[in-house]
């Protein structure tokens, strides 16, 4: 029986195994889906059955950087529980993936999944890890930075990772800035980087808030201008008070050091992932009823 793409897709959805493994299993079993599932389970590749659809919002941000502080990468790898996020097997996998990502030198996840760890592709290693720990594991995203300046890199508790591109050669300052970004979560480097539509929307909100004050229009305009300036300072790196010395802004800190920031990347585990709220009692009841 000829193995079709639709058959491979069906087997992948039912087992979570890779495309090539599914195709091989179907060839070995003459296109029998049930037999192919059993084949994959016996080879340990289908332990991810039904797990691929489960929400993986925990995990780790892994960092790999070059010795000269000119190249670095952050990779977010997710699992389902914080317990597994601390598992030695999971941590070993995440660091190996980050090291591969640094060698790869771009942000192509598909290419990363085809690189090798101990003779197996990252995708095969991921599947083997799922089979071993019993949770969905996903290599979600990565950021890569390369600069002629200095890269500041910082990972906080495995949950927040930052890369900052400093135009200068002060490694200590670069790391301090990375720690600041991890803590204060600025959205942009400077007010000039904030898109006009975001500024306009914020101004519209501030005008609406001030409209009921009963103050003259020119006073309202000054109020709005001041509040807008304060808001832009709060969401930009340069406008924020430096986390290690709140008496100076980051802009002043950089000015004193004769340095500037070209850009930064900040990743936090699970941000943007919609986690379904579950009722533990209902889950137990469903299991007891065979649901």
Parse the chain into domains and list their residue ranges.
5-42, 51-146
pLDDT in tens, 74-102: 999 999 999 999 999 999 999 999 999 99
Between the alpha carbon of residue 241 and those of residues 183, 224, 235, 246, 285, the distances in Å are 12, 21, 11, 5, 51
Confidence of residue 221 (pLDDT cuts 50, 70, 90): confident
The DSSP result for 216-231, as a single string, is -HHHHHHHHHHHHHHH
Confidence of residue 33 (pLDDT cuts 50, 70, 90): confident
Residue range 51-146 forms a domain whose CATH class is alpha beta
* Pair 154, 146: CB distance under 8 Å: no
Residue range 5-42 forms a domain whose CATH class is mainly alpha
- Distance of alpha carbon 28 from the chain centroid: 38
Give the start-end residues of each E strand in 168-254: 241-242, 245-249
Other C-beta atoms lying within 10 Å of the C-beta of residue 110: 7
pTM for the model: 0.75
């Amino acid at each position: 029986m000829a193995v079709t793409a639709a058959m491979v897709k069906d087997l992948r959805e039912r087992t979570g195994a890779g495309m090539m493994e599914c195709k091989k299993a179907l060839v070995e079993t003459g296109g029998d889906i049930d037999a192919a599932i059993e084949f994959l389970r016996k080879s340990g590749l289908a332990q991810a059955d039904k797990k691929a659809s489960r929400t993986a919002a925990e995990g780790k941000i892994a960092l790999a950087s070059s010795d000269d502080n000119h190249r670095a990468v952050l990779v977010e790898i997710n699992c389902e529980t914080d317990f597994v996020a601390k598992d030695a097997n999971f941590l070993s996998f995440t660091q190996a993936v980050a090291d591969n990502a640094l060698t790869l030198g771009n942000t192509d996840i598909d290419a990363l999944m085809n690189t090798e760890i101990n003779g197996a592709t990252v995708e095969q290693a991921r599947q083997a890890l799922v089979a071993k720990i019993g949770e969905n594991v996903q290599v979600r995203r990565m950021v890569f930075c390369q600069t002629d300046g200095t890269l500041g890199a910082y990972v906080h508790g495995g949950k927040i990772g930052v890369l900052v591109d400093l135009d200068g050669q002060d490694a200590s300052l670069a790391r301090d800035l990375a720690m600041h970004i991890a803590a204060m979560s600025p959205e942009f480097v400077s007010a000039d980087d904030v898109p006009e539509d975001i500024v306009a929307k914020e101004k519209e909100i501030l005008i609406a808030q001030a409209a009921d004050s009963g103050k003259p229009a020119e006073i309202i305009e000054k109020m709005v201008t001041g509040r807008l300036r304060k808001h832009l300072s709060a969401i930009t790196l340069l406008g924020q008070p430096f986390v290690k010395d709140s008496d100076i802004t980051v802009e002043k800190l950089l000015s004193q050091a004769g340095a500037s920031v070209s850009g930064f990347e900040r990743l936090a585990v699970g941000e943007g992932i919609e986690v379904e709220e579950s009722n533990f009692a209902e889950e137990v009841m469903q299991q007891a009823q065979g649901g």
